[in-house]
Amino acid sequence: MKWLMALLLAATAVSSTAATRTDIGGPFQLTNQNGERVTERSFGQPALLYFGFMTCPAICPTDLAKMARISKQLQQQQGITLRPVFVTIDPERDTPVKLKAYVNYFSSNFVGLTGSAQEITHITDIYHVYYKKVPTGDKPDQYMMDHSTILFLLDSQGRYLKHFGRGMDEKEIERQVVAALADEPT
């Protein structure tokens, strides 16, 4: 059932009006790259939220670099401060210490989040994110993670506003972020 929801969410990624704001997101508690407990309201500014894992060979780093560029462009051109947030789906390997170095590679503004297996399951459930450990060898630590690749826009209170599919152009995401944030009460 989870994969079906992830598929439906991905299908609506270009036009996110099919999913209502009450269908996606909600309260969560995780640990940031500094070892501090945070919630969806801790960022104090709009955020771009992405789920992935640090040992991802190509997709996650590409998407995180894209998030950093979008955040930088919106700050420089529109004066919009947008916090890029990376939530690991591999809490066994992605510790706060490792996350700190990883997210800082993309931008000093990035926040990296991890938590217990139960906390990661909770946040992926409320965002309808699919993920699964895929063995790549005989040993328990030989695995990759399969997951959906959707970028979520949150308002300054941590509420879901919109989501974007992986194939969406950066300029289009920027345009839609500006429009979505303009519609929000100040």
pLDDT of residue 21: 57
Report pLDDT digits (tens) over 81-140: 999 999 999 999 999 999 999 999 999 999 999 999 999 999 999 999 999 999 999 998
Report pLDDT digits (tens) over 141-178: 899 999 999 999 999 999 999 999 999 999 999 999 99
- Calculate helix-pair angle for 59-78, 170-182, nearest 10 degrees: 50
Given a cut of 50, whether residue 9 has pLDDT beyond it is no
The candidate with the shortest Cα–Cα distance to 50, out of 93, 107, 133, is 107
Given a cut of 50, whether residue 14 has pLDDT beyond it is no
pLDDT of residue 20: 52
The amino acid occupying position 183 is: D
Distance separating alpha carbons of residues 117 and 90, to the nearest angstrom: 8
The answer to whether 84 and 47 are in contact (CB under 8 A) is yes
Distance spanning both ends of the chain, measured CA to CA = 37
The answer to whether 169 and 55 are in contact (CB under 8 A) is no
Given a cut of 50, whether residue 16 has pLDDT beyond it is no
Task: Give the pLDDT band (50/70/90) at residue 184.
Answer: confident
- Calculate helix-pair angle for 96-106, 59-78, nearest 10 degrees: 60
Report pLDDT digits (tens) over 20-75: 556 999 999 999 999 999 999 999 999 999 999 999 999 999 999 999 999 999 99
pLDDT of residue 15: 41
Distance separating alpha carbons of residues 33 and 54, to the nearest angstrom: 13
pLDDT of residue 183: 83
Q: What fold is seen in the domain 1-11+29-42+61-83+94-168+175-186?
A: Glutaredoxin (3.40.30)
Q: What percent of the chain has pLDDT over 70?
A: 87
Other beta carbons within 10 angstroms of residue 65's beta carbon come to 13
